[in-house]
Amino acid sequence: MFYNSMFKNTFLFLLMVVFSCGSSVKGKEERGKKQEARGEKQEVIGNGQDERIENEAVLLEDILTGAENFSAYFPLLKNKKVGIVTNQTGVIKFKKFVEIKNNTTTGSDKGIEIKQVSVVDYFIENKINVQKIFAPEHGFRGTADAGESIKDGKDTKTGLPIISLYGDNKKPKAEQLKDIDILVFDLQDVGARFYTYISSLHYVMEACAENNIEFLVLDRPNPNIKIIDGPILEKDFTSFVGMHSIPLLHGMTIGEYAKMINGEKWLKKGVQCKLTVIPCLKYTRDLNYSLPVKPSPNLPNDQAINLYASLCLFEGTNVSVGRGTEKQFQIYGSPFLPKNDFSFTPIPNFGAKEPTHKNILCHGEDLTKIEKVSKLELKWLITAYQTTSDKSKFFNAFFTKLAGTKKLQQQIESGISETEIRKSWEKGLADFKKMRTKYLIY
């Protein structure tokens, strides 16, 4: 429910002035100058004073996601039939002032309580005409295993139909879109080419273009935005874990990536969709960002998200990355690596019903306490290959799909140094960095 009158007291009014005028206006001016320099058209909707849920204090976060940039996109949804592609990561955060009891003579203090609201629930509460929810890999609530088939269904809270965008229905069908005027996309990406939310993005954009439906991306920060690294995908190895010729770590937000897909005409037959990206506020590429919600069941914390791209290459080998433990993507090991001081035994758990090497003791390395990486790390993969008991059984066919090229496996098997492997990426990375500049927002 929106406010229908002015704020009720001076304190909230001053907060609105400080945080809306002081930051949003200046930020919009700076973004406008950058966009103008790149020849982009800038359209600012609203007066910078974001409307809020009744009884909530103003947002005080340093970074506001596109979903929290309300005044920029609510006018676009008015009087339209809306579909939304989202899951448990599509949240809106608020800070609410509350009374906190204590043992002092005053009896209570002012405190702040964090409140998170699903973007779907928020839309419905604010009378947005949501027709359907489209859910990617892991499902709407984010509880399914990687690769697990997700069935269509109904959301128990809202009663809205849920359409799965995984398995045999990666691309929305025309009949699934027939009652929709605009499709909203709000998913938290982690910046890796094989993280399938950006593959879902491609197919949804393509469906919108083919069915003449507006497409609105609510942008979110990329927690690995500072890293651009890895081999460029070769088109012969295109799959759902690698749709386009980009590096393994692309260093873009999902909104920027959507602009690239559209601008480079990567959709089938070169079609382009009617794309609008709602930017984050107070966000720059040099800021760190901690995700408020797990993006998927096996990425439980910032450390796992940072190591994800480097360790996920092990998914194309006989080495476990900790699925079936509480340290997913923070450890690695297998029964075929040398015994040492660190070991673990994968067992079925939330997000991993059949983990690699289930119930078998694995030896490897614990990376939970290491400093965050600033590149795609190959040293663990190379060491594991060199020390495995049977090199002929180390790689499997999935490795080439993840790497996006046959060369990386061949280089490792040939004993080429990490330095030489990295040199082979240099031209592709330089070309990509040059190409992507026209699509950057921040």
pLDDT digits (tens, 9 = 90+) for 56-103: 445 555 899 999 999 999 999 999 999 999 999 999 987 766 666 665
251, 191 contact by CB (below 8 A): yes
Half-sphere exposure of 34 (CA within 13 A, CB side): 13
Task: Give how far Cα 18 sits from Cα of 8, 45, 55, 147, 167, Å.
Answer: 17, 20, 19, 46, 48
- Rounded to two decimals, the pTM is 0.83
pLDDT exceeds 60 at position 357: yes
Best CA proximity match to 117, nearest among 56, 30, 51: 56
Q: What is the pLDDT of residue 198?
A: 97
Q: Which helix (H) or strand (E) holds 135?
A: strand 129-135
DSSP 236-293: GG-BTTB-SS-EEE----HHHHHHHHHHTT-SGGG---EEEEE--BS--TT-----SS
Terminal Cα-to-Cα distance of the chain (whole angstroms): 31
The structure tokens listed for 98 are: 């509350």
Residue range 192-221, pLDDT digits in tens: 999 999 999 999 999 999 999 999 999 999
Residue range 259-276, pLDDT digits in tens: 999 999 999 999 999 999
Residues forming beta bridges with residue 183, ordered by sequence position: 83, 215
Best CA proximity match to 93, nearest among 250, 289, 251, 268: 289
Specify the length of the chain in residues.
442
Residue range 97-140, pLDDT digits in tens: 666 666 555 555 667 777 899 999 999 999 999 999 999 875 67
Q: Helix (H, G, I), strand (E, B), or coil: what is residue 185?
A: strand
164, 135 contact by CB (below 8 A): yes
The rounded Cα 149 to chain-centroid distance in angstroms is: 20
Q: Which helix (H) or strand (E) holds 361?
A: none
What does pLDDT average to over the chain? 86
